[in-house]
Structure 1
Amino acid sequence: MGIHSKKDEKFKPDKLSMEMKIETGKVYKNITKVKGRMIPSVDWRLMLYINENKLDEDEVFVVEEFYKSLLSPGTYPLFTCSCGVFGCGGYYVEVVHETERIIWLTEQSPFNDHTIESSNKFIFSWVQIMKFSKGLIQEFEHLKSIMSANELEFNFDIEKYNRIITEIKKH
């Protein structure tokens, strides 16, 4: 099942990129300074860009679903509300696999800036998506090392993401 048009053949592939900001510090555990104690904190944000246009920060990229979408086409809840409840403000992305490219069809514009023209169809080359996927793993490995150094729990399965990339390379 492919989505083709003459326009697509002339169209320059979209580019997915990211930036991760990490801040470390200490916060009081328990509410008051008198009864609390200082513990390490690591705050991080992952910001996504398509063609250097920043995606809406109120929509959180669901990393686990992204890696699942690389294995097979389908509809995935790739973005959720910043509160963590998908039904509050998340949206689905239909992911189409073709030989040389992967296509995202979004329910809504992913950009907060409504002056950005968007057809809600994004076409990425597999080469670029794999580069993005590996870069995302590197960012999470860096975050994991910071979290571990601060004795904090890390909740992403980097090994699983690496297995997915390895599986895709085999095809």
Structure 2
Amino acid sequence: MKKADENKLDVLSVDMEIDIRKEYINITRHSGRMVHVIDWRIALYINGNKLHEDEVFVEDEFLKSLICPGKYPMFTCTCGIFGCGGYYVEVSHEDDRLFWLTEQSPFKEQFVKTSNKFTFSWN
């Protein structure tokens, strides 16, 4: 790897979509009421490229990875079962950088040229 590439940092960005709707919920067998339901979705981008939408980002595992390095089940299948289509991210820390090594490419698009190694600034 070239020296210039070693110092290049990747950019991790997040986009959150929120939708609020009303839904009729049965409270008891004979009584119900309209309640607000909040639907939300997080989309991740690395260097401006959107990560695959069929893999669900597990926020709790991401937050744990910021505290302690290790191997985390950071992406899971849309069905919610990790073994169905999820994969691990190996996370390591340095004073000014955070590293991800993914088990597979996180991008849906084949045109995104990348290794499975990412370097992010703590900032």
TM-score band, normalised by shorter chain: 0.7 to 0.9
How far has the Cα of 1:100 moved from its partner?
1.7
How far has the Cα of 1:53 moved from its partner?
0.5
Distance (whole Å) between structure 2 residues aligned to residue 5 and residue 78 of structure 1: 29
More strand by share: 2
**Cα RMSD over matched residues?**
1.9
* 1:92-142 deviation per Cα after TM superposition (whole angstroms, max 9, x unaligned): 000011222111000001011121111011110112xxxxxxxxxxxxxxx
1:87 and 2:83 equivalent? yes
TM-score (norm 2): 0.87
1:6 and 2:3 equivalent? yes
Aligned AA for 1:99? D
Aligned residue in 2 for 1:69: 65
Distance (whole Å) between structure 2 residues aligned to residue 71 and residue 111 of structure 1: 25
Aligned AA for 1:6? K
Q: Indicate the percent of aligned positions where both proteins have the same amino acid.
A: 61
Give SS of 1:103's match: strand
Of the three residues 95, 114, 121, the one matched with 2:117 is: 121
Distance (whole Å) between structure 1 residues aligned to residue 5 and residue 98 of structure 2: 12
How far has the Cα of 1:29 moved from its partner?
2.8
Distance (whole Å) between structure 2 residues aligned to residue 48 and residue 114 of structure 1: 17
More helix by share: 1
Aligned residue in 1 for 2:46: 50
Within 5 Å, give how 1:154-169 maps onto structure 2. Answer: none
Aligned AA for 2:24? Y
